[in-house]
Structure 1
Amino acid sequence: MASEITYAEVKFKNESPAPVVKVPPETKKPEHHPQKYPLWLPWLISLLLLLVCFALVVVLLVVLFWHSSDQPRVLQQQFSEWKCDSAVPQGTDRGWMCCPEGWRRFQRSCYFLSSDKMNWTESQQNCTGMGSQLVVINSKAEQEFLSKQIKRSPQRKNFYIGLFVAKEGPRQWVDKTPYNVTAAFWRKGEPSGGQDENCTVIYSPEKTVNNWNDSGCVWNFSRICEAAAVTV
């Protein structure tokens, strides 16, 4: 007879329970999807920036144009009668240069020789009100032209020009053109530097082109105004 096998569960005293290892639940990492932009968006931004830059340039040019054309526009508003002659030799497609009636043109400028008299400050204000300024002489050719004009009738002795001495400063022109002593046309012994002789006149009885005198600014003299000729 076959022997019977008996299984028995054996428990030992003081046996420690098997350790339980806790595994933290797996955390699901968030998925990162790259943000997608339309391919044309960078081109659109570049185009907008280019248009903004272009608009700024246009505005700047317009502002500069209006400032540079203030004097001719004021001159045109003040006078209704004009005298025009060809600005360039015949055969070209350029226009005409015009000066108000009674003004005299030389190159690209118009000149007004007054018959009435004012002090220097009033003379400059009067010229400004007509869209011009007291004359600024830049060349010997211009000086020669004016020296001939001041001898025409009616006879006047002194004409204010736009050269003056600022308070505690150097001699300067009304349009801020630097004064160049080598391109000045003083009479012999002038400028004499007398007290308060801070303004300049052209003295018409002088026979040469060197006909400038320094003068006080409070005397009432004639004046020469200058404005840019209007091209049409």
Structure 2
Amino acid sequence: MMNEQGRVSPGTAVPAEERSCPRLNICLFLGFALAIKAVFVTVCLVALLNGSYSQYKILLQNSTEWYCVPSSSAEKMDGWTCCPKGWRFFQASCYFLSPDTMSWAESEQNCTGMGSQLVVINSKAEQEFLFNLAKEKATNMYETKFYIGLVAYDNRQWRWVDQTPYENTATFWKPGEPNFLFVEKCAAIHVKGKRDPNTYSNWNNVLCFTNCYRICEQAVKLL
């Protein structure tokens, strides 16, 4: 009850709507703060998930599927020898024969991009393996060429892409090759059809801008 001065008399109850206003303001403030927090947390989670997904996509793009076989000695199995799927094993290397053709420089760059190099041939056994492999991939055309990692520089001296001295390796040039070294400075395995009986002497030097297939090589992975 109000007294004459407009004051509330002691013991008189305050109306409910007047009494609840401070609590209502606090509730509204807390609700607003919680809403802002929820929005902030949601934005952070979306950014985090997007970043993680992007990293996951990059990981998938850079991943390599491997094919492994037991690596064993005469006494026991030592572990696993692995090559990228689609590559071929031979001794301590993995080999890839391309399905498309490029110039020598593009071929070298393509092999390097796969963590390998244009093949460096060090032995008669390796040459025979590669020639038989090339015959499997050869077309019915008159001839098919596969670039190897051998190039002649301005001084007309041959050099392997891994800097192996040319003089220290076996060579397998066709009779009469190499010739025209002033223009034909890149080496390729030369296959004449699928039935070419020549296993060893089949290297040919060609113009480096010629589009040929390529053979990439990398060391096996031991696990």
| Cα distance per residue 1:101-160 (max 9 Å; x no partner) | 110010110000001011000000000000000000000010010010001145370000
Q: 1:167 Cα deviation (Å)? A: 2.0
Q: 1:222 Cα deviation (Å)? A: 0.4
Corresponding residue for residue 197 of structure 2: 207
* Structure 1: distance between partners of 2:112 and 2:169: 28
| Cα distance per residue 1:25-56 (max 9 Å; x no partner) | xxxxxxxxxxxxxxxxxxxxxxxxxxxxxxxx
Contact 1:82-1:101 within 8 A present in 2 as well: yes
Instruction: Give aligned pairs, total.
Output: 156
**Cα 1:95/1:163, change in 2 over 3 Å:** same
Q: Which amino acid aligns with 1:207?
A: P
- Secondary structure (helix, strand or coil) at the match of 2:111 reads helix
| Percent of aligned pairs with the same amino acid | 51
Contact 1:115-1:154 within 8 A present in 2 as well: no
TM-score by length of 1: 0.63
Q: 1:190 pairs with 177, 195, 198, which one?
A: 177
**Cα 1:182/1:91, change in 2 over 3 Å:** closer
Contact 1:161-1:202 within 8 A present in 2 as well: yes
Q: 1:166 Cα deviation (Å)? A: 1.4
Q: Does 1:224 align with 2:211?
A: no
TM-score by length of 2: 0.65
- Structure 2 stretches lacking a partner, 5+ long: 1-60
Map 1:68-217; keep pairs closer than 5 Å. 78-89=62-73, 91-153=75-137, 155=139, 157-180=144-167, 183-205=170-192, 206-208=196-198, 209-217=200-208
Contact 2:152-2:181 within 8 A present in 1 as well: no
Q: Which has the larger radius of gyration?
A: 1
- Structure 1 stretches lacking a partner, 5+ long: 1-76
- Secondary structure (helix, strand or coil) at the match of 2:178 reads coil
Q: Which structure is higher in helix share?
A: 2
Q: Which runs of 4+ in 1 moved over 4 A?
A: none
